[in-house]
Chain A
C-alpha cells in the first residue's frame, strides 16, 4: 500500500511501486485533467506539482511521490497564485485545442513561484519543456507577464 497525498487528500493505494504517477492520478483516482502526451517526459502535458515543483508525472514512479504533496490541475486554483494564473489564461484566451494547457498552467505556476517577475527569456527557458502544437506560446508568455504585472507573487 502506498500513502499518497493528492490535492490535500490522503489516499491509501494498492498499486505497484513503479506505476507512473500519471496512471495513478488519471486511472486510479479519476483526476483526468492531467494529460498523457508522449510518455517520455518530452512534451510536458502531464506536468503536476510535487511539493510545489513541476514534475513530469508520466516518468515519475508513484513510490517517489509517496510522503510528498502532489498537486494537479484540478486543485492548482486553490492557491492565490494558481488562481491568478488561471484568470490570466482566461483573460488572454490562451487556450486553443487545450490538450497541453493543464501542463502549461502547472509549469507557469511553478515558474512564477520560483521567479516572481521573469523576463521573456526566463519565461522561454522556464517553460521550454512544455510543447504546444497550436503554438499558443506568445499568449502563454503574455499571460505569465500579466500575472507578474498584477503583483500576485
Chain B
C-alpha cells in the first residue's frame, strides 16, 4: 500500500513536471517567434559572433553606442534580471538599476507589445546558453552621455502604452498594424527622424537614409511607396526577399528578411501587407520608375558604362532589365535604378548580394575589386539612365565615398 502510494505520488509529480515542461516549452517557442518578429538578433549580434551576445556598434553623429549582451549570463548578460526589469526595459526604455536607454533601442515600438509577449521573449532568451561577453562602453560626448536626459525625451516622444486594436478594421489589418508598429519596428528605419532623433510623427514610413542605405518610403503612396505592389508581391518580398520589378531586399533589409521576416507565418506576412497598403500615403523620397521602355537589343554605343553593362551585367539582368536566368534579377521598376544619388545601387555593386540562404540565381557577386571607381560610376550611370528616368549620373568620387560606407 505504502509503496503504491509513493508510486502514485511520484507519477503525479512526474506528470505535473511534464505538464510544466510542456508549458515552458510552448512559452519558449512563442518567445522565439516573437524574438524573430522583433528581430532582436540583428542588433544584439556582431557578424560571426554568438547570437544575442551584443557588442554591435551604432555610429551616431555624437559618438557610438554598443548593443548589450542579452544572453542569460549572470555577469555580462541579463541573467540576473527580473521579469519586471525586462518589462520595464521594453515598455519604458528603463533597464535594470534605472538605466535609461537611448532610442537606438526601439522601445518606443516594443512598448506596444502586451506583457505576456514580452515575458515570452524573456523566457526564450533565458532558455539560451549564457555567453560571457563584455561589450565596449558607449562613447557618446556630453551632453548626449547623460542618460538621465532621456527622462525629458521620453516625456515628449515616448508613450508608454500597449497596442489597441481598431474595431472598425479587420482582424488581419490589426494584426498587421501591431506587427509593423510594435515588434517589427519598421518605422525605426523607414520613418524619418526629427531634430531630437525621434521618429517624425507627421511622416510615418516616408523613408530615410539609414547606415548608408536608402530605407525606402513604404507608405501606401503608389509612386513613392508600396501602393502599387500587390499583397502577394509584398508577401514575397517580406518572406523571400524579392518581388520582381518591385524590390529586392539587400543590405540591412536583406538582414531583416534573413533574421526576422522569413521566419514569420504567411498569415502574419499577409497581415503586414494588408496594413501597409492602407497607411497614410507619403509623397517623399525616391520615386518608382515608369515601366521601362528599355529595349531588349544590346546597346552598342553607350560608352564605357554600356560596355561594362554588356560584359558584367547583361548576362543576368538583360538589356531590357527583365532578368535572364531569374526574374529576381529584374531591374526595371526598381526604385534603386531611379535614385539620382545611386545610393543602394552603388552599395550593391560594391557589396554584392550574397546571403548564403539565397538560391544561386538570386545572388550577385560584388564588383568592388573588379572595377575602378570611374568604371563603377560609368556602369552605375548607365543603369540609372537606361532603366530610370532621373537622367542622373554618378562620379568616381561618389563611388569612392560609398566604398567606405556600405557597412551595416
Interface residues of A (CB under 8 A from B): 18, 20, 40-42, 44, 53, 55-56, 58-61, 64, 114-115, 119, 121-122, 124-126, 128-129
Contact = CB atoms under 8 A, between A and B. Distances in A.
Nearest to B299: A125
Given A18-B359, A60-B361, A129-B310, A55 B324 contact: yes
A59 B307 contact: no
B300 A56 contact: no
Interface in B272-315: 297-301, 306-307, 310-312, 314-315
Given A115-B297, A124-B310, A125-B306, 10 more contacts: A41-B325, A42-B365, A55-B325, A59-B316, A59-B325, A59-B326, A122-B298, A125-B300, A128-B310, A128-B311
User: Which of the listed residues B314, B326, B360, B365 has the most CB atoms from chain A within 10 Å of its own CB?
Assistant: B360
Contacts of A129: 310-312, 314-315
Contacts of A42: 312, 315, 365
A121 B300 contact: yes
A20 B360 contact: yes
Nearest to B352: A40
A83 to B, nearest CB: 24
22 contacts: A18-B359, A41-B315, A41-B316, A42-B315, A44-B315, A58-B360, A59-B325, A59-B326, A59-B360, A59-B361, A60-B325, A61-B359, A61-B360, A64-B325, A124-B300, A125-B300, A125-B306, A125-B307, A128-B298, A128-B307, A129-B311, A129-B312
Contacts of A115: 297
A64 B360 CA distance: 12
A60 B360 CA distance: 7
Given A40-B365, A59-B360, A64 B312 contact: no
Main secondary structure of the interface of A (DSSP, over half): mixed
Q: How large is the interface on B (under 10, 10 to 19, 20 to 34, 35 or more residues)?
A: 20 to 34
Nearest to A20: B360
User: Which of the listed residues A58, A61, A125, A126 has the most CB atoms from chain B within 10 Å of its own CB?
Assistant: A125
Contacts of A40: 363, 365
Interface of B: 297-301, 306-307, 310-312, 314-316, 324-326, 359-361, 363, 365
Ranked 8 nearest A-B pairs via Cβ: A128-B310, A125-B298, A121-B300, A129-B315, A125-B300, A60-B325, A128-B311, A40-B365
Contacts of B360: 18, 20, 58-59, 61
A119 B315 contact: no
Contacts of A126: 298
Contacts of B324: 53, 55-56
Contacts of A64: 325-326, 361
Contacts of A124: 300, 307, 310
Contacts of A125: 298-300, 306-307, 310
Nearest to B314: A129
Contacts of B307: 124-125, 128
Contacts of A60: 325-326, 361
A18 B310 CA distance: 26
Contacts of B314: 128-129
A126 B307 CA distance: 10
B41 to A, nearest CB: 25
A5 B326 CA distance: 19
B100 to A, nearest CB: 48
A53 B301 CA distance: 23
Nearest to B310: A128
A133 B315 CA distance: 18
A44 B314 CA distance: 11
Contacts of B300: 119, 121-122, 124-125
A121 to B, nearest CB: 4
B54 to A, nearest CB: 35
Nearest to A21: B325
Contacts of A121: 300-301
B50 to A, nearest CB: 30
Contacts of B298: 122, 125-126, 128
A101 to B, nearest CB: 17
A53 B315 CA distance: 11
A3 B297 CA distance: 31
A20 B360 CA distance: 8
Contacts of B311: 128-129
User: Which of the listed residues A42, A55, A56, A121 has the most CB atoms from chain B within 10 Å of its own CB?
Assistant: A42
A11 to B, nearest CB: 20
Contacts of B301: 121
Contacts of A20: 360
Contacts of A122: 298, 300
Given A44-B315, A124-B300, A125-B299, A56 B325 contact: yes
Contacts of A61: 326, 359-361
A52 B184 CA distance: 45
A59 B364 CA distance: 10
User: Which of the listed residues B324, B325, B326 has the most CB atoms from chain A within 10 Å of its own CB?
Assistant: B325
A37 to B, nearest CB: 11
